[in-house]
Structure 1
């Protein structure tokens, strides 16, 4: 019974870690897309290809700044999983 609860907790931690890691990049992409959409609406330029290059550049910049933090979070999560393996296997 305890193994199921620990497995579910590990799954929840994995999902939370994944969402935490992806959030900065998604927020940047959404904000840049929104800003470009507003500019396109104000200038009445409706070309879909105009949003790709600025969004790509901003995402790459956000990745450059957030990758060290992402690696730290991911290595911490991986270390926690490796530390909890004996507890899960022993059932307690």
Structure 2
């Protein structure tokens, strides 16, 4: 196993993990921004006001994107397992 192969696998792992984390992170970012705009406009500074919508939004994002995330992860794992014989040469 060469250094190039290890770096290539590490790059693939980082890309897949970024793709899998994106729906939850983007949803949380958008909801947090909207809630902070609302809090700035109304001057309501309640910490739980930002937590509950984020938690619900991330839950919905995981329900909507869950199948795609699982399919992506299974496909990546199968690809890694099929590469094992070539990596051991």
Q: State the TM-score bracket (shorter-chain normalisation).
A: over 0.9
Q: CA offsets, 1:14-63, max 9 Å, x none?
A: 01000010011100000000000000011110111111111101110000
Q: Counterparts of 1:4 and 1:58 in 2: how far apart (Å)? A: 41
Specify every segment of 5 or more residues in structure 1 that has no aligned partner in the other structure, as ranges.
none
Does 2:20 correspond to 1:53? no
Match in the other structure for 1:6: 5
Give the SS at the match of 2:28.
Answer: helix
TM-score where L is the length of structure 1: 0.93
Root mean square deviation of aligned Cα: 0.9
* 3-state SS of paired residue (1:46): coil
Aligned residue runs from structure 1 range 1-92, under 5 A: 3-90=2-89
Structure 2 residues not aligned, in runs of 5+: none
Paired positions, count: 89
Q: Runs ≥4 in structure 1, deviation > 2 angstroms?
A: none
